[in-house]
Amino acid sequence: MTGASATKGRQIPDSLTHPATRLLKSWESLLAVVVVVIFVTNSFASPYFLDPWSLSDATYNVTEKLMIAFAMALLIIAGEIDLSVASIIALASTAMGFAVTLGAGTPELVAIGVGVGLICGLFNAVLVTGIGLPSIVVTIGTMSLFRGLSYIVLGDKAYTGYPADFAFFGQGYVWWVFSFELVLVAGLGGVFGVLLHRTNFGRAVYAIGNNPTGALFSGIRVARVKFILFLLTGLMSGIASVCLTSRLGSTRPSIAVGAELEVVTMVVLGGVNILGGSGTIPGVVLAALVMGLVTFGFGLLNVPGIVMSIFIGLLLIGVIALPRLWARLRIQRG
Amino acid sequence: MQASPSDRPVLRLSGISKSFPGVRALSGVSLALYPGEVTALIGENGAGKSTMVKILTGIYQPDAGTIEVDGQVTAFPTAAAEATAGVTAIHQETVLFDELSVAENIFLGHAPRGRFGLIDKAAMVAQARALLARIGANLDPTITLKDLGIANKHLVAIARALSIDARVVVMDEPTAALSYKEIEELYELVERLKAEGKAILFISHKFDEIFRIADRWTVFRDGELVGAGMMNAVDEAQLVQMMVGRPVDQIFPKRQHSLGAPVLTVAGYCHPTEFQDINFTLHMGEILGFYGLVGAGRSEFMQALFGITRPSKGACRIDDRIAVIRSTAQAIAHGIVYVPEDRGRQGAVKGLPIYQNVTLPSLGRTSRHGFLRLAREFALARQYTERLDLRAAALDQDVGLLSGGNQQKVVIAKWLATRPRVIILDEPTKGIDIGSKAAVHAFMAELAAEGLAVIMVSSEIPEVLGMSDRVIVMREGRMVAEFGKAAMSPEALVRAAAGIGERAAA
């Protein structure tokens, strides 16, 4: 077959861009460079940075949020959002704490934490895909609802007295410096990466995010996919709640306040389009590394927490604005 | 010719041309509007009527031509200067603001001002009430617009026209969504506007109303002026002839007629609002045309057949087995696929590459246990895009970067890759250039020859006549006529679609 003839039977190439070129130009590559720069800067700035145990401790800054960010990434790529995730953590944790007072053991606690997460996800899913309400409104509502329930149950008290072996999920180590949470989040990253990038389900997520009507007209079960995504987000919030509750060893109704915004920040910093349609799991992992390393580095340098959140805020605005400014500059020159 | 007092037009457009990429919408047309008279603008869909309205109201600027107001050549209106040029339009879907009150809608942009330049609400409501009374509308000016029906919204738009002292009122299919009684009231209003000396441009597909209220006619066909004159010197047959009477100059593919076994039988399909009692049987190798005016319920019925909406009643059989279609996925599983009219939203998934668009409904076949196999996807996409002679740089190119015609090819390739039994094409050649049209027609013939059953929804008479083995005409959600190959004629189709025959019989 000749490629030059313009008649029928012309061969259309699969791709004109070499995979390596695409990788080099990608957002993920830029994030990887940022990670390396922060890593090197930190190791020069503080002699304590390169210690394996302190690095291992630092992963707790992001592990629980990253678990949720995986599911949130899929949800945002599909054009929806769930702002109730931190409140799901609170409600699930409260349920576990209540179960402890009734004498529940570790397996029951895990089942309750994960189960409450799933039920909360189901509630969001029904409101959004069943009734057809906008997810941003629904989940702002359930954000108040779920945490409000925790406050009603707990007031200004706290649940403590979790069983000793329950501490493993947030404080245990699988091998050397590798904590249970770190191993779990790595495994979940693999699962979500494959789900989004290697399955029909992941393809449907992208199609829905780019054009929900077009996806529906192509035979995609749009409502079903979105339903599953809300369930997954609830499930991951439940798992994160088990880990966080185990790590803290106590439940207060204010647990994980504001975490939903950090999760969304992580997802958007990772290159997921907030309007849906594009983004990758490796990008989200790299964004978590950036945020974790910055937090850890600033901590070592005794930079106050408020400066950290200012920095993360600026970083977020920067990463969204820079590509657009860059594109505008190129248009003006060209 | 006539020595009537309204011999001098208030507005005259001459030599108007307007092109869009790939389409010449208007070429050198003229239009004159006279004070105190209704001019009917007549033409098929795509004849250029809407483009003309958009030029009149300043939404488009023409490529060439002049505009005269009272014999003086002036600048073409721009959207903002529309009111000052004295032209106001009342569309099928009137452009008003649902959340504002009736009075606010009437006076938006030129409300009476009180102290400090603030809007004098009391004066505005009073003036609105006076205007509404002038057109005999019994409406409360303080009510929010969204609480009104279409007919009353038209009244508000007309009151607005009076408030800006418009000299020209454009009515683009104003009766399309109105009940019989509301239409009568609108006619009375038109008479009142005439008495006030307004020049009215009235666009309609319904011949009975054109003959009822118009004084003059102008016919457009394919973006050109066919003729113009007084209503009392013309009859329906002549107008229909001018409107559709082009020689069927497009060459349509010759087809061997050997219809196969019945594939699809639709029995008593109903929908609460969109369509009623649709029945037909479709055979292998057949091209069945669906003709009708815009809003006749054709697309709505097709989308019900494709599982987008659910019919309230009725059954559908495929190969003589009952097929339950509650979702697009089920329709596709039964071999029914739909190429939509609204390509931007419902057709291609822009943002996804070409190959992913093609394989989207076929992932079940290209994947294994739910896991993607890219090599198979590329192979399937290549097979069908090459068959359709797609022009693209690479298969991983974003489908949104392709031209409209090529996007349409991607959508068709997507459906052929599912190996369908029945393909529904909704306005398959709307807005695409002549060359691509011929390619689409040839391809449809090829598909039918391979035994696929084809349903073609089209508002273009030559296309319907040239391609269909059989035509069903729909009007107001019902099947009103069915023609075999031999009985089809442009006049018969137009009459059935517009309900002319029934009026004569009644």
Is B164's Cβ below 8 Å from some Cβ in A? no
How many beta-carbon pairs under 8 angstroms link A with B?
108
pLDDT band at B37, cuts 50/70/90?
Answer: very high
**Is residue A1 in some structural domain?**
no
Q: Which residues contact A119 (CB under 8 A, 6 or more apart)?
A: A234
- A60 CA to centre of own chain: 14
**Is residue A253 in some structural domain?**
yes
Chain A residues touching B328 at Cβ < 8 A: 216-220
**Is residue A46 in some structural domain?**
no
Per-residue DSSP letters for A72-134? HHHHHHTT---TTHHHHHHHHHHHHHHHHHTT--HHHHHHHHHHHHHHHHHHHHIIIIIS---
The pLDDT value given to residue B58: 77
Chain B residues touching A218 at Cβ < 8 A: 328, 349, 357, 360-361, 414
A165-169, A297-301, B91-95, B289-293, range with greatest mean pLDDT: A165-169
Q: Which residues contact B10 (CB under 8 A, 6 or more apart)?
A: B33, B34, B35, B69, B70, B167, B168, B199
Containing domain of residue A173, as a range? 61-318
The pLDDT value given to residue B431: 65
**Is residue A44 in some structural domain?**
no
- The answer to whether the CB atoms of A219 and B361 lie below 8 A apart is yes
Q: Could you tell me if B136 and B127 are in contact, meaning their C-beta atoms sit under 8 angstroms apart?
A: no
**Is residue A263 in some structural domain?**
yes
- The answer to whether the CB atoms of B352 and A216 lie below 8 A apart is no
Q: What is the CATH number of the domain that holds A232?
A: 1.10.3470
**Is residue A94 in some structural domain?**
yes
C-alpha distance from B341 to closest chain A C-alpha (Å): 12
- Planar angle of CA A314, A318, A321, nearest 5 degrees: 140
C-alpha distance from B359 to closest chain A C-alpha (Å): 10
Among A218, A228, A272, pick the best mutation site for testing chain B contact (most B Cβ within 10 A). A218
- The answer to whether the CB atoms of B308 and A217 lie below 8 A apart is yes
Task: Find the closest chain B residue to A220 by CA distance.
Answer: B329
Chain B residues touching A219 at Cβ < 8 A: 328-329, 331-332, 360-361
Give the H or E element holding residue A43: helix A27-45
Q: What is the pLDDT of residues B336-368, one digit of tens each?
A: 999 998 877 888 999 999 999 999 999 999 999
Is B394's Cβ below 8 Å from some Cβ in A? yes
What mean pLDDT value characterizes chain B? 84
**Is residue A13 in some structural domain?**
no
The pLDDT value given to residue B455: 96
Task: Find the closest chain B residue to A213 by CA distance.
Answer: B346
Among B339, B350, B360, B412, pick the best mutation site for testing chain A contact (most A Cβ within 10 A). B360
Q: Where are the beta strands (DSSP E) in B353-469?
A: 422-426, 453-457
- The answer to whether the CB atoms of B370 and A200 lie below 8 A apart is yes
**For residue B300, which of B285, B318, B312 has the smallest C-alpha distance?**
B312
**Is residue A11 in some structural domain?**
no
From the list A15, A202, A215, the residue facing B396 with the nearest CB is A15
The pLDDT value given to residue A233: 98
Question: Tens place of pLDDT for every residue, chain A, 334 residues?
Answer: 333 334 444 578 888 888 888 887 788 888 899 899 989 998 888 888 889 998 999 899 899 999 999 999 999 999 999 999 999 999 999 999 999 999 999 999 999 999 999 999 999 999 999 999 999 999 999 999 999 999 999 988 999 999 999 999 999 999 999 999 999 999 999 999 999 999 999 999 999 999 999 999 999 999 999 999 999 999 999 999 999 999 999 999 999 998 999 999 999 999 999 999 999 999 999 999 999 998 888 888 888 878 877 887 887 788 778 777 877 776 666 5
Chain B residues touching A202 at Cβ < 8 A: 372
Q: Which residues contact B375 (CB under 8 A, 6 or more apart)?
A: none
Tally the domains of chain A. Answer: 1
- The answer to whether the CB atoms of A14 and B331 lie below 8 A apart is no
C-alpha distance from B103 to closest chain A C-alpha (Å): 32
C-alpha distance from B345 to closest chain A C-alpha (Å): 6
